Amino acid sequence: MCLAADRPLLLYNDFLRLNMTFDKIAEVIAKTAHCKIEDIRPETELAALGVDSLKALTVLFELEEAFDIEIPNELISSIVTVNDIQVRLEATNH
């Protein structure tokens, strides 16, 4: 049972989890695309960071390994922004 007093803690834990996920995504993109981590924002398009289709596959493979998940191949073509990656990871992680 979730008490009202527990709600801020749950929100904070969700915030921390999302932040850690984004940090890992940014780290992998920066390493793969050789771009500055400061340039990586949720709304940034992968192409603007120098991530072509081959690098995108590398990024997704690294993230699958890091989070011990599998991103279905049919979703890959719908990933355009950094946030798209995070949304897919969060959906797959649940």
Tens digits of per-residue pLDDT, 36-75? 999 999 999 999 999 998 999 999 999 999 999 888 888 8
Considering the chain, what is the average pLDDT of its residues? Answer: 84
Superfamily of the domain at 4-93: ACP-like (1.10.1200.10)
Pick the closest to residue 84 from 72, 76, 93, 74 (CA basis): 76
| pLDDT over threshold 80, residue 11 | no
Provide the whole-model pTM: 0.79
In this predicted structure, what is the pLDDT of residue 52? 93
Residue reference for tokens 């599998």:
70
Q: Give the range among 3-7, 67-71, 78-82, 88-92 with minimum mean pLDDT.
A: 3-7
CA angle in degrees (0–180, nearest 5) for 44-48-50: 125
In this predicted structure, what is the pLDDT of residue 1? 45
Sketch the domain layout of the chain as residue ranges: 4-93
Q: Do residues 28 and 63 make contact, with C-beta atoms less than 8 angstroms apart?
A: yes
- Residue 24 CA to residue 63 CA, distance in Å, equals 8
Residue 55 tokens, joined:
């690098």
